Structure 1
Amino acid sequence: MVGPVCETGDTFARGLRRCAGWLLALLPLWASAAPVDRHAEARDFDRAFDATMARYRLPGLAVGVIEDGEVVWTRTAGELRARSGQPVTPRSLFKIASNSKAMTASVLARLVQAGRLRWDDPVVKYLPGFAMHDPWVTRHMTVRDLLVHDSGLPEGGGDLMLWPEPNAFTRADILHGLRWIKPAYGFRAGYGYDNLLYVVAGEVAAAAGGAPYETLVRREVFAPLGHDGCRVGEFRLADAGEVAQPHMRDGERNVPIHEDGPAVPAITSAAAGGIRCGLDDMLAWARNWLAPTPAQLQWLGPAQRAEMWQARTPMPISARRRAWDDTHYFAYAFGFRLADVDGAWTVSHTGTLSGMYSAMVLLPDRKAGFVMLTNGEADAARTVLTEVLLKHFTAPAKARSVESYADELAQAVAAKPAHAPVPDVSARHPASVAGMRPWLGVWRDPWFGDVSVCPADGGVEWRSRKSPRMHGQVSLLDGRHLLHWDDPGVDVDAWLDFAGTGKARALRMAKIDPQGDFSSDYEDLAFAWVGPCGATPP
């Protein structure tokens, strides 16, 4: 950005606000907007909704739109569970995944407002056992740092302690394990999305607030804002009403995966991505930010609202974002992302879990926004529908159809050169017990814990002791050891690289697809051999 008010001596956050304000002041975006034809608008929204459902064959979808601080359109379709006959409604609960992060940040903001903590307090003031890999970083990490993805952790570092669920990792395990995860870059030196530090943030809130994280969310967010349908922590499925189940695509069918049992347990990842809400409650959450009532301004005053939406960490801007949205700045705040889209200021976040996707996009200057919730594999669907709805607000003259965006996205994916060829795992063959004999035994990583590489069912099985869904057969492919998961929902398969002899034996892992989900952070694991199969090493 250039201009007389964009001074190079500004801090990033101050300069961003000043420059953005200067640019937006030149754009009378809505000052003389014509009266809105709500019927035509609803037809446009319906058309986009139907086209998204048809193109991506989602099991269920819930979308709502806000203008001038009021909900002007909602739509739901599909089923809570494919072929169940149970319809999705505005009160159906979805996993909002990382849209939980803004609620976690809000709990902390409430505690700051109440004088229970300060943003610049060191984390160790509340959690003396907390430690990062670098002792200096441990001492200087603040509450603020936990929320803005500039810690130096590798992208998704340590996520194997959170997913796949269920697993036996605790929040105490995370506090202990962080010290073993080596940084990928310097502290406060760049952006790298993480989840573990939001779990730590939840524990800071618990220490300062005098109650478990889940209790604080209910007390500080759900109760005062009237989000009576939202759930966090343990609950009974029968008491929650309508609960959407996640799905994956299997050919032409949506297949339910990881379905809830009658008793839904509390999960370690709650503060990073473990809250569930329905469309009605998410729209109420959005309106609280866009057009707060006097009571909501008592809930969280202007000072802490400004803190929540202050740009903290610059984020990379993709070529697609530049082309589609004419974006010039993109930054992380406290549980929100800030960007300019066609000259308009947006505040947003997405949520992604296996078989569950969400999005919330706010345009504060117009008191407008929208929420999308779905219970299927919907990465492309979310991208496309979000773009169509955004253009309705930011650049109607540039409006395109769902089909147009979807075709362009599909073509870009097809044309993208592979970073590295992904091998055909169907060509694998089982590794023999005899051939694996030097590597059989119990292996330990300092943060992930123990895994066994031991004979099973005539072959060799790799099995995690704390993450029970992570088990699979060791095979050979192109002369390398391959770990093929028994549960396809675990995610991408892994190479196993064994080295050394005797007590110096080591095991490293790597995704067979380098572009796979960053939460499968196998590359951060470093196993050492600690004992033979059947032993319980100290």
Structure 2
Amino acid sequence: MPFKPLLLCLALLPGLAHAAAPSAADAAFYDSAVQQAFDHYRLPGIAVGVIEDGKVVQVVTRGELAVGEGRKVGADSLFKIASNTKAMTAAVLARLVQDGRLRWDDPVTRHLPTFRMYDPWVTRNMQVRDLLIHNSGLGLGAGDLMLWPEPNHFSREDIIAGLAHLKPAGSFRADYAYDNLLYVVAGEVAAAAAGTPYAQLVREEVFAPLGMDRCQVGEWSPAAVGDVAQPHYRQQDRNVVGGRDGAHATDFPSMAAGGVRCSVNDMLRWMQALLDPARAPGWLEADQRRALWTAHMPMPIGQRQRDWDNAHFSAYGYGWRLSDMDGQWKVAHTGTLSGMYSSVALLPDLRNGAVVLINGEGEAARTALMQALLKHWTAPAAGHDVLHYAGLLDRDAAQRRADGHVRPAMSPATAVTADDLGGDAGIWADPWFGRITLCPADGGVVFAAEKSPALRGEVMRSDGRPWVQWQDLGEDAEAWLRFTGEGAQRRLEMRAIDPDIDFSYDYQDLAFRRVGDCP
């Protein structure tokens, strides 16, 4: 849809007051940038919003809610914002701190007496603030197999209990390592402090006061709400709907870490309230706004960030990544979940910002597009467009492949039989993940996780090593199986086959012990 009709509609939208038209050159740039990303990466759908000086200046949408079905993406279409939910969880906690219902330095156990980490000292000293800044000592994505692939049967109670069995990879408060589980805990801390379920708190403390009327959290009906983007995956160079919504969406356990859905219009209201306190008087006082965007945990600065942004610092706030970009203060986050990608970036001193929502495999697309949008403000003389950054990403990917970051070559796979597995067939259990079975079925052996139905597949063998070929997951999620020890010390471990696997497949944190025979 051309940008001019969208701008006209935007000016009439309630809650997006003071929308302003950009200059003709800026409008053409924003529209062209979205079109480049949409075409180059062959996206199923995309929605982008732009703010300048605190005012919404442009919304651009392209594509379909579900490919081939003819329903166009619009400014009110709902997308999974994934980990951009974390900033909303932090805002809920900030509102509770503001109201005196908890403190940032409260011990977590004050609100959740059953909370336990692997180290008792860490349990006693973990504060509410620590839940938000990825300093726990857990490894990258530790325990994420309790969250996804979705759907699964883990409860919030399971997740909190599982933390006690996850061995740390480093020291508490020493280093940054991104995690999701502690945001689940943060949501439960908020619920306990307020005496109100997490989903209701988000509606009351964020959506309602900021006019984010289309956003959904907890249990809701996609059929009743309507205009909901569906996730897509690439299959043989085509976009295919995967994980389509049913008539009813559940309040799944990882909601506080990445479960909110919003439209681009909702996200623009959220961003405006953060950029300009006058738009939401009394919603968050200055000290709590400052707390959200304070550098609480240093983060490493990657080479791309140095090269692209001329960055000198990087840190994590409460639900936000903080850095500098060409001398401008940048506050941002991304989100990735089940076939959808999001990105939010703010330049608070300019009161500018952008949001990108994609309902397909869009990691490179969101990176190239957001970079082009931000550079339009921080380094306009460079004149770089989306295709420039897409080319740089392609070059980096080629270099990684040359450096060996590829799925290793494997001999033709053969199915493992029950005789091959011998005494290793049976029921195995991990302290936090629970039970799996390695049992005969249809002439082979099937791996099946009791609480994660998507982790089901046939056990294969290549080059003398057993591995799992998942039924409903792509080959980039496949894992080696490794049996070690003898007798009572027999263990089953798993390791990713693809070195670039999503970190949420934290197979390396599993340590199964055989606990019984096959049924």
Q: TM-score range by the shorter chain?
A: over 0.9
1:446 matches 2:431: yes
Q: How does 1:178-217 map to 2 (within 5 A)?
A: 178-217=163-202
Q: How does 1:458-477 map to 2 (within 5 A)?
A: 458-477=443-462
3-state DSSP of counterpart to 1:71: strand
Let me know the Cα RMSD of the aligned residues: 1.4
1:345 matches 2:318: no
Find 2:208's aligned residue among 212, 223, 237. Answer: 223
- Name the structure 1 match of 2:158: 173
1:401 matches 2:385: yes
- Name the structure 2 match of 1:390: 374
1:502 matches 2:487: yes
Contact 1:504–1:529 (CA<8 Å) still a contact in 2?
Answer: no
3-state DSSP of counterpart to 2:460: strand
- Name the structure 1 match of 2:16: none
3-state DSSP of counterpart to 1:434: helix
The 2-side partners of 1:50 and 1:501 are apart by 59
Instruction: Write the deviation string for residues 61-92 of structure 1: whole angstroms up to 9, x where unpaired.
Output: 00010011110011101000011100000100
- Name the structure 1 match of 2:513: 528
Instruction: Write the deviation string for residues 149-206 of structure 1: whole angstroms up to 9, x where unpaired.
Output: 0110100000000000100001100110001101111000000000000000000000
Instruction: Write the deviation string for residues 91-136 of structure 1: whole angstroms up to 9, x where unpaired.
Output: 0000000000000000000000000000000000001110111000
Contact 2:446–2:456 (CA<8 Å) still a contact in 1?
Answer: yes
Find 1:331's aligned residue among 312, 315, 331. Answer: 315
Instruction: Write the deviation string for residues 513-535 of structure 1: whole angstroms up to 9, x where unpaired.
Output: 2331110000000000000011x
> Residue type of the partner of 1:125?
R
1:356 matches 2:340: yes
The 2-side partners of 1:480 and 1:489 are apart by 19
The 2-side partners of 1:51 and 1:225 are apart by 32
Q: CA deviation at 1:146?
A: 0.2
- Name the structure 2 match of 1:478: 463
3-state DSSP of counterpart to 1:62: strand
Contact 1:388–1:402 (CA<8 Å) still a contact in 2?
Answer: yes
3-state DSSP of counterpart to 1:498: strand
Change over 3 Å in CA distance of 1:420–1:248 after alignment to 2: closer
Q: How does 1:68-83 map to 2 (within 5 A)?
A: 68-83=53-68
Contact 2:65–2:228 (CA<8 Å) still a contact in 1?
Answer: yes
- Name the structure 1 match of 2:90: 105
Contact 2:411–2:462 (CA<8 Å) still a contact in 1?
Answer: no
> Residue type of the partner of 1:147?
L
Q: CA deviation at 1:408?
A: 1.7
- Name the structure 2 match of 1:250: 235
1:413 matches 2:376: no
Q: CA deviation at 1:147?
A: 0.2
- Name the structure 2 match of 1:6: none
The 1-side partners of 2:409 and 2:204 are apart by 51
Return structure 1 stretches of 4+ with deviation > 4 angstroms: none
Contact 1:354–1:377 (CA<8 Å) still a contact in 2?
Answer: no
The 2-side partners of 1:470 and 1:273 are apart by 21
Q: How does 1:129-168 map to 2 (within 5 A)?
A: 129-168=114-153
Find 2:256's aligned residue among 271, 278, 293. Answer: 271
Q: CA deviation at 1:320?
A: 1.0
Percent identity, please.
55
> Residue type of the partner of 1:485?
W
Change over 3 Å in CA distance of 1:281–1:490 after alignment to 2: farther
Change over 3 Å in CA distance of 1:255–1:153 after alignment to 2: same
Change over 3 Å in CA distance of 1:414–1:420 after alignment to 2: closer
Q: CA deviation at 1:251?
A: 2.4
The 2-side partners of 1:165 and 1:190 are apart by 29
Q: CA deviation at 1:504?
A: 2.8
- Name the structure 1 match of 2:72: 87
Change over 3 Å in CA distance of 1:334–1:528 after alignment to 2: same
Contact 1:161–1:174 (CA<8 Å) still a contact in 2?
Answer: yes
The 2-side partners of 1:354 and 1:233 are apart by 17
The 2-side partners of 1:148 and 1:244 are apart by 30
Find 1:314's aligned residue among 298, 310, 324. Answer: 298
The 1-side partners of 2:122 and 2:488 are apart by 32
The 2-side partners of 1:94 and 1:423 are apart by 35
- Name the structure 1 match of 2:504: 519
The 1-side partners of 2:182 and 2:473 are apart by 28
Q: CA deviation at 1:434?
A: 0.4
Contact 1:429–1:475 (CA<8 Å) still a contact in 2?
Answer: yes
Contact 1:419–1:515 (CA<8 Å) still a contact in 2?
Answer: no
The 2-side partners of 1:438 and 1:397 are apart by 68
Instruction: Write the deviation string for residues 462-497 of structure 1: whole angstroms up to 9, x where unpaired.
Output: 000000111011111111111111112585110100
Q: CA deviation at 1:299?
A: 1.1
> Residue type of the partner of 1:75?
V
3-state DSSP of counterpart to 1:205: helix
Instruction: Write the deviation string for residues 208-242 of structure 1: whole angstroms up to 9, x where unpaired.
Output: 01011111111111111111100001111122121
- Name the structure 1 match of 2:14: none
Find 1:260's aligned residue among 234, 245, 250. Answer: 245
3-state DSSP of counterpart to 2:419: coil
> Residue type of the partner of 1:261?
G
1:376 matches 2:360: yes
For structure 2, the 5+ residue unaligned runs are: 1-20
Instruction: Write the deviation string for residues 418-437 of structure 1: whole angstroms up to 9, x where unpaired.
Output: 45652345721101110111
For structure 1, the 5+ residue unaligned runs are: 1-35
- Name the structure 1 match of 2:13: none
The 2-side partners of 1:451 and 1:273 are apart by 26
Find 2:472's aligned residue among 483, 487, 494. Answer: 487
1:456 matches 2:441: yes
3-state DSSP of counterpart to 1:263: coil
Contact 1:76–1:88 (CA<8 Å) still a contact in 2?
Answer: yes
1:285 matches 2:270: yes
The 2-side partners of 1:398 and 1:49 are apart by 18
Q: Across the two proteins, how many residue pairs are aligned to each other?
A: 499
More divergent stretch after superposition (414-423 vs 97-106): 414-423
